[in-house]
Amino acid sequence: MAAKTTDFTAMMKDMMGAFPVDTKAMEDAFKTQSSLAEKLSAVSIDAAQKSTDLSAKWMQDTLVKMTDMTKAKAEPADYAKAMTDFASKTAESAAEHMAAFAEIAKKVQTETLELMMAAGKDMTEDMTAAAKKATADMTAAAKKAATVK
């Protein structure tokens, strides 16, 4: 006497086939997520480019100031003045560049917040539409199953 094994694969296919699945809602959610990722990447890349440009400019400015400081002087007191001028200009430049970095960061924060709020709205709309469709499909499936019995 041979034991008959249950075909769980067929059982799962039958069970999953009884539940309506809205692939369009999943596609829309995927597109929304992809769009958000693309926009967030653009914000990050733009900020990285601006930060890199700003860092390079700051370095160039510092090197120009160093060149002035390292030139030969006629009097020993001129070396002290050159060092003081360099330190003063460098501190001033640092404040300006740090303010520019802060502006870049503020822009990233603002754009990211706007994108997240828009994406949240889009996702809420997608989920609401998917839930309404799923409810209608389940109701129709339940009515169909009730009439078959």
What is the pTM (predicted TM-score) of this model? 0.63
Residue 72 scores a pLDDT above 90: yes
Q: Taking residues 126-146, what's their average pLDDT?
A: 74
The whole-number pLDDT of residue 27 equals 80
Domain count, the chain: 1
Task: Read off the pLDDT band of 21 (50, 70, 90).
Answer: low
Query: Which pLDDT does position 149 carry in this prediction?
Result: 54
Written as six digits, the tokens of 47 are 């900020």
Q: What is the pLDDT of residues 82-120, one digit of tens each?
A: 999 999 999 999 999 999 999 999 999 999 999 888 888
Domain of residue 65: give its range. Answer: 40-129
pLDDT surpasses 90 at 145:
no
Residue 14 within any structural domain of the chain: no
Tokens 């754009």 appear where?
A: 111
Q: Which is higher by pLDDT, 90 or 135?
A: 90
Assigned domain for 81 exists: yes
**Which pair of tokens denotes residue 22?**
């809205």
Q: What is the mean pLDDT of residues 7-11?
A: 74
The answer to whether residue 144 sits within a structural domain is: no
pLDDT for the residue 3: 62
Residue 104: inside a domain, yes or no?
yes
Residue 3 lies in a domain: no
Q: How confident is the model at residue 139 (pLDDT cuts 50, 70, 90)?
A: confident
Distance CA 67, CA 81 (A): 14
Residue 31 has pLDDT above 70, yes or no: yes
Query: Per the domain annotation, does 60 fall within a domain?
Result: yes
The pLDDT, as a whole number, for residue 148 is 59
